[in-house]
Amino acid sequence: MHVKQTIAIIGATGNMGQAIAKSLAKEENRLLLFSSNLQKAQLLAEEIKSNNAAVEVEGIACPVDASWEADIIILAVPYQAEAETAKKIKDVARQKIVISISNPLNATYDGLVTSADTSAAEELQKLLPDSKVIKAFNTTYAADFAQPVIDGKQTDAFIAGDHSSAVTVVEELARTAGFNPVIAGPLAVSRTLENMQLLMIQLTMKYNYNWHAGWKILHN
């Protein structure tokens, strides 16, 4: 028997939060789902359990308690809400892996609100100096989690971070979720990853990919 890793998903009932929760609902993980609407989080937990009774999952009323119990914290909130959440969980997230999934898009989706010399992930790391911030799942749409194989190819999931042991843990999570993990480099590579998804969103709207598309590096 192994000790289960406890994963807190903050913003668990949004599109991305739900998709991540469902794809990580495996016996080796214990999931704590926080949403500002507790009832919705509890309903999601029930739905997950009805699909697999062996999964330990529950809705939780407080993001601080969820993060305090967690080994890994996934911030599935919009970029604009990250600073407020970070402030709340800062003390209990010390030395823990905090996954930044956000893309700091502007209101018209034609650019990022962050300046060129930083990224949402690096800004989060500044707000959580004692945590191990890892960029992941920002280049994957919510629909990709349900169907990570698109056009016969397994979608890549890019991961960036400065702590190698933490990157390895997140790599395993991406694999659990059904993606092909690609370690992209240190946290500063998040600038590129966030811009990649800006392009993907623009192309999705332009060519009508129906919000089910992903990146795949073809190589020999």
Partner 1 sequence: MFEQLIKSIQDKVPATEQELQLCKHYFTPKKIRRKQFLLQEGDVCNRMAFVEKGSLYSYSTDAKGNQRVIQFAFEGWWISDLYSFFTKEPSSLNIEALEDSELLLLDHEQHEYLLKNVPQYETYTRMILQNAYVALQRRIEGTIGLTAEEKYSRFLNQYPTCLNRVPQHLIASYLGITPETLSRIRKQMAR
Among residues 165 and 208, whose Cβ is nearest to partner 1?
165
Stretch that binds partner 1, among 21-29, 68-76, 100-108, 146-154 (CB under 8 A): 68-76
Q: How many C-beta atoms lie closer than 10 Å to residue 35's C-beta?
A: 25
Three-state DSSP state, 10 = strand
CB of 92 to partner 1, least distance (A): 5
CA angle 59, 65, 66 (to 5 degrees): 45
Q: Which is nearer to partner 1, 96 or 135 (CB)?
A: 96
State the DSSP code for 120: H
User: Does the protein bind partner 1 through residue 58 (CB under 8 A)?
Assistant: no
Contact with partner 1 (CB under 8 A): which of 95, 208, 210, 220?
95
Where residue 152 falls (left for φ over 0; alpha for ψ -120 to 50; beta otherwise) is left
Q: What angle do CA 36, 13, 11 make, to 5 degrees?
A: 55
By CB under 8 A, residue 26 contacts partner 1: no
User: CB under 8 A: which stretch of 94-102, 117-125, 173-181, 193-201 binds partner 1?
Assistant: 94-102
DSSP code, position 95? T
**Is 65 a residue that touches partner 1 (CB under 8 A)?**
yes
